[in-house]
């Protein structure tokens, strides 16, 4: 049986040596997701909702400011894993689809 997004996050937190808590600083999020600083800021800056309140880009992170620190909530990390898992599954290349073959012709 596949793991839920929350179970995946709990495993990622255990691997990073971090406890489950309400929110995480940007450096901790980088460790949890295995991303670099610039990727973190790209994900945060990409967050946008449309007029109906739906997230425009699945590969983004909603964040909050707590004092002077940018933080990502536990629930947003779970939602991020859910969004990106389902997006990849729904928009992946169909293995039955013909591919293009770019072979160099022998001269």
* Rounded-to-integer distance, Cα 43 and Cα 80, Å: 10
Q: How many CB atoms within 10 Å of residue 43?
A: 20
Mean pLDDT, residues 35-54: 90
Mean pLDDT, residues 34-50: 91
Lowest-confidence range among 36-45, 52-61, 85-94?
85-94
pLDDT tens figures, 64-94: 998 889 999 999 999 999 988 754 444 445 5
- pLDDT > 70 fraction of the chain, expressed in percent and rounded: 79
Average pLDDT along the chain: 82
- pLDDT > 90 fraction of the chain, expressed in percent and rounded: 48
* Rounded-to-integer distance, Cα 47 and Cα 45, Å: 6
């Amino acid at each position: 049986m596949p793991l839920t997004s929350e179970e995946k996050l709990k495993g990622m937190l255990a691997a990073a040596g971090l406890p489950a808590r309400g929110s995480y600083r940007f450096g901790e999020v980088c460790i949890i997701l295995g991303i670099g600083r610039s990727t973190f800021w790209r994900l945060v800056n990409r967050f946008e909702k449309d007029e109906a309140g739906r997230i425009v880009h699945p590969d983004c992170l909603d964040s909050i400011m707590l004092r002077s620190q940018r933080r990502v909530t536990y629930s947003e990390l779970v939602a991020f894993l859910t969004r990106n898992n389902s997006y990849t599954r729904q928009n992946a290349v169909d293995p039955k689809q013909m591919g293009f073959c770019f072979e160099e012709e022998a001269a």
